[in-house]
């Protein structure tokens, strides 16, 4: 049995309204979809990435996996990693590897007739999620409506909003929005915040102490730049809430440094960036060896299976942009029940891309 065909395509999906966080604003999300076929069975993977990742799959990676044994995913992953050596792995190349690695694992599970979580080895029946969005561009009414959707309509007992507006220059509004979020979700739900690296370390400490005292914030994501390990460690050592980072880790070695520097309480790992399922599992095991948990960053339906295969999981991010895209353009998308996603019994990750529905958004 050999891999017969490898494809890639890129799409630009507009947001439903202007979105922004502490350090960036955007009006669309990039989606790169890859497929691999063997023995008339097709596996599919995707990444939220630049269209350039689709070109990397076509020009650099397809030749690494074509005509090879589809069961040997670790060997294929290593071949892809070596192929982009001179291009630079972090960033676009890692996102391309991620999409194709996910497709390869999906193909293997489908060939064996197994749900992906069963192939990987199930560690839990379902994976807890937290509602994520609350963009700095939202007014109070829009923020409240989104929070009510998660904690009220869907019953998710955790919610996260963006803070750090204008690179940390609007702290009064940050605090007002945090207090609003607590009023909306009530006393029983957990409240998370994400500054996307907008603050300085001592500024983050001052704000964290107020947010914990005023609103019971328990999770502070990227209070400073994720590349500032000393700053993350300083904040972590001075506040009561958990400090998290890692979403920009494009290789397991990134997390080795993050862990070695005692920079976080929980490592956020993105299966569409770090190098797919192969690399995500490597990071989860690294974290477990240091008594740390991991959290799946974004792409909730892709994380449901891989996150369900590790014991040291905190939760998966049910991110507004991505759950919208996955629910609209993929058959088989999961809906949180009681605050968790439960992978079904269909072979692979259970998703199929509705290419015809997305054709008008295709850019490459």
Per residue in 35-74, pLDDT tens?
Answer: 999 999 999 999 999 999 999 999 999 999 999 999 999 9
Q: Answer whether residue 346 shows pLDDT above 90.
A: yes
Contact 300, 294 (CB under 8 A): no
Instruction: Report pTM.
Output: 0.97
The CA distances from residue 110 to 101, 107, 117, 348, in Å, are: 14, 5, 12, 5
Any idea what the CATH number is for the domain that residue 199 is in? 3.20.20.120
Per-residue model confidence as pLDDT tens digits over 291-312: 999 999 999 999 999 999 999 9
Any idea what the CATH number is for the domain that residue 92 is in? 3.30.390.10
Domain identity same for 32 and 162:
no
Domain identity same for 173 and 250:
yes
Q: Which residues pair with 316 in a beta bridge?
A: 129, 296
| Domain span at 203 | 118-352
Domain identity same for 99 and 176:
no
Per-residue model confidence as pLDDT tens digits over 195-230: 999 999 999 999 999 999 999 999 999 999 999 999
Mean pLDDT of 225-242: 97
Quick one: pLDDT at residue 141?
A: 98
Calpha distance 233→248 (Å, rounded): 17
Q: How confident is the model at residue 1 (pLDDT cuts 50, 70, 90)?
A: very high
Domain identity same for 197 and 49:
no
Mean pLDDT of 227-245: 98
**Into how many domains does the chain fold?**
2
Contact 8, 34 (CB under 8 A): yes
Per-residue model confidence as pLDDT tens digits over 12-40: 999 999 999 999 999 999 999 999 999 99
Domain identity same for 239 and 146:
yes
Domain identity same for 71 and 165:
no
Please give, one letter per residue, the 3-state secondary structure of the chain. CCCCEEEEEEEEEEEEEEEECCCCEEEEEEEEEEEEEECCEEEEEEECCCCHHHHHHHHHHHHHHCCCCCCCHHHHHHHHHHHCCCCCCCCHHHHHHHHHHHHHHHHHHHHHCCEHHHHHCCCCCCEEEEEEECCCCCCHHHHHHHHHHHHHHCCCCEEEEECCHHHHCCHHHHHHHHHHHHHHHCCCCEEEEECCCCCCHHHHHHHHHHHHHHHCEEEEECCCCCCCHHHHHHHHHHCCCEEEECCCCCCHHHHHHHHHCCCCCEEEECCCCCCHHHHHHHHHHHHHHCCCEEEECCCHHHHHHHHCCCCCEEEEEEEHHHHHHHHHHEECCCCCCCCEECCCCCCECCCEECHHHHHHHECC
Mean pLDDT of 235-248: 98
Mean pLDDT of 263-279: 98
Per-residue model confidence as pLDDT tens digits over 142-179: 999 999 999 999 999 999 999 999 999 999 999 999 99
Quick one: pLDDT at residue 337?
A: 84
Domain identity same for 128 and 189:
yes
Quick one: pLDDT at residue 338?
A: 87
Domain identity same for 184 and 264:
yes
Per-residue model confidence as pLDDT tens digits over 109-137: 999 999 999 999 999 999 999 999 999 99
Domain identity same for 139 and 257:
yes
Percentage of the chain exceeding pLDDT 70: 100
Q: How far apart are the first and last CA of the chain?
A: 30
Domain identity same for 76 and 170:
no
Calpha distance 224→340 (Å, rounded): 29
- The two tokens of residue 275 are 């190098």
Calpha distance 333→330 (Å, rounded): 6
Domain identity same for 209 and 239:
yes
Packing angle of the helix pair 229-238, 201-215 (nearest 10 deg): 30
Domain identity same for 107 and 129:
no
């Amino acid at each position: 049995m050999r891999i017969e065909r490898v494809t890639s395509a890129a799409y630009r999906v507009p947001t439903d309204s202007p979105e922004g966080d502490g350090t960036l604003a955007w009006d669309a999300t990039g989606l790169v979809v890859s497929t691999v076929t063997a023995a008339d069975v097709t596996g599919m993977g995707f990444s939220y990435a630049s269209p350039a990742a689709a070109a990397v799959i076509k020009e650099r990676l397809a030749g690494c996996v074509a005509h090879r044994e589809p069961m040997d995913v670790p060997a294929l992953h290593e071949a892809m990693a070596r192929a982009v050596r001179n291009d630079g792995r972090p960033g676009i190349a890692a996102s391309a590897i991620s999409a194709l690695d996910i497709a390869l694992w999906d193909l293997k599970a489908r060939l064996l007739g197994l749900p992906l979580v069963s192939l990987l080895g199930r560690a839990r029946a379902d994976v807890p999620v937290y509602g994520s969005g609350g963009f700095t561009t939202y007014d109070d009414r829009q923020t409240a409506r989104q929070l009510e959707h998660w904690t009220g309509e869907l019953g998710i007992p955790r919610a996260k909003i963006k803070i750090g507006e204008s690179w940390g220059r609007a702290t009064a509004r940050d605090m007002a929005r945090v207090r609003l979020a607590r009023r909306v979700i009530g006393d029983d739900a957990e409240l998370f915040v994400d500054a996307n690296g907008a603050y300085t370390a001592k500024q983050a400490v001052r704000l964290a102490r107020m947010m914990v005292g005023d609103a019971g914030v328990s999770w502070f994501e990227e209070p400073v730049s994720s590349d500032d390990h000393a700053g993350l460690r300083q904040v972590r050592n001075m506040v009561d809430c958990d400090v998290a980072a890692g979403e920009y880790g494009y290789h397991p070695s990134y997390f080795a440094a993050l862990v070695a520097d005692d920079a976080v309480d929980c490592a956020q790992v993105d299966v569409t960036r770090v190098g797919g399922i192969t690399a995500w599992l490597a990071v989860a095991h690294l974290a477990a060896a240091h008594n740390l948990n991991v959290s799946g960053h974004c792409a909730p339906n892709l994380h449901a299976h891989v996150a369900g295969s590790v014991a040291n999981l905190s939760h998966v991010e049910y991110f507004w942009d991505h759950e919208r895209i996955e629910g609209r353009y993929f058959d088989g998308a999961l809906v949180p029940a009681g605050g968790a996603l439960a992978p079904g019994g269909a072979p692979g990750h259970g998703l199929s891309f509705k290419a015809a529905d997305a054709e008008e958004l295709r850019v490459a």
